[in-house]
A = this chain, B = another copy of it.
Amino acid sequence: MVMNSKIEKLIKQFAKLPRVGNRAAQRIVLALLQDKTGRIEKLVEALVDTNENIHACPICGVLTDRAMEKCEYCRDMRRANNMLCVVRDLSDVWTLEKSGVFGGRYHIIGGLLSGVAGITPEDLNLANLSARIADEKITEIIFALPNTIEGKTTQQYIMSIIDKENIKFSELASGVPLGGELDYIDDGTLSLAFGGRRTI
């Protein structure tokens, strides 16, 4: 294809993004280039502004852009201190917050154990988990991991490394479809799954 090199480079950058193919990337770039309202400038500003200010919360792993070191979930005094919800990544936190079914603390592990993908416990954000449970006097750990083999394996592993004394473990009730990812569940189902969580 005879095309401008800079435009082509920009299309390639967009085509690398998740859920954006080459044709969608072309449409996006064209819409941006033909726009007269400064969308490129706004997008660049938002990207730079976020990128320069982002850091992972040292407690829970949530990416935050606040000036404070701790994220808004760890600093929020109104949240239940004794309940900890273990999730895979930040989008799961967003999904749960949107549904409003959980008012405790989060812990993002950043992935799932997988022999195939070569993800080992060292790759997950687990180093400070035991200390956290003791420090914050956690009494219940709720696993909100994907209902897949990897999710369950990871859950079993985490349970095996935690001192079980005075800790209640629970997982989301069935209601989460098998093989399903948290991202795609409607708030109602998620609410039922939270309400019906069972001790394991």
Q: Which A residues fall within an 8 A CB radius of B?
A: 1-7, 9-10, 13-14, 16-20, 23-24, 26-34, 39-44, 46-51, 53-54, 63-66, 72-73, 89-91, 94, 97-98, 183
Contact = CB atoms under 8 A, between A and B. Distances in A.
A33 B46 CA distance: 12
B64 A4 contact: yes
A2 B74 CA distance: 13
A176 B46 CA distance: 41
Contact of A94 (B3, B33, B64, B94): B3
Nearest to A54: B33
Contacts of A14: 43
A34 to B, nearest CB: 7
B13 A19 contact: no
A65 B26 contact: no
**Max count, chain B CB within 10 A of own CB: residue among A4, A28, A32, A64:** A4
A57 B44 CA distance: 25
Nearest to A28: B17
* Copy count, this protein chain: 2
Nearest to A53: B6
Contact of A97 (B2, B46, B53): B2
Nearest to A43: B13
Contacts of A7: 50, 54, 63, 65
A173 to B, nearest CB: 23
A26 to B, nearest CB: 6
Contact of A18 (B6, B28, B53, B66): B28
B27 A94 contact: no
B47 A51 contact: no
28 contacts: A1-B97, A3-B94, A4-B63, A4-B64, A4-B65, A4-B66, A6-B46, A6-B50, A6-B53, A7-B63, A7-B65, A10-B49, A13-B46, A13-B47, A17-B32, A19-B20, A19-B27, A26-B94, A27-B91, A32-B47, A33-B50, A33-B51, A33-B54, A33-B90, A34-B63, A34-B90, A40-B50, A41-B51
